[in-house]
Amino acid sequence: MGTISLEGLEFFAYHGYYPEEQRIGNKYALDITITTDFFRAAQHDKLSETVNYETIYQLTAKVMKEPAKLLEHIGFNVIEKIREHYPTVEKVTVKVSKFNPPIGGVCTRAVITMEG
């Protein structure tokens, strides 16, 4: 077992609970960690025997283009897409950050972390 991580994926997207957030857009960051068995890939030096992080990025980018009200919904959808494409992974952890959330005060980021 091991982990494959993509950290600091950045997107500008139109998510948010409030209509103005969906209209104006905001910057988001995601960190994704996948726990899986990549012994055969390491042994044989074959990309086809592991999780391709380019594919993970593409799946995530697709989710980020779909409007969502909640960070939790984004995290859930990223996990679902990864599991659909790589059903044998043991665990997927996704951290979704929203920069400068509209909370009425100073806040660098709102963050949720999900596992599935």
Listing DSSP states for 81-97 in one string gives HHHHH-TT-SEEEEEEE
Residue appearing with tokens 């599991």: 83
76 within 8 A of 114, measured Cβ to Cβ: yes
Q: Supply angle C-alpha 57, 55, 23, rounded to 5.
A: 35
* 98 annotated active-site: yes
DSSP H helices in the chain: 19-24, 39-44, 53-64, 71-85
- Catalytic (active-site) positions: 98
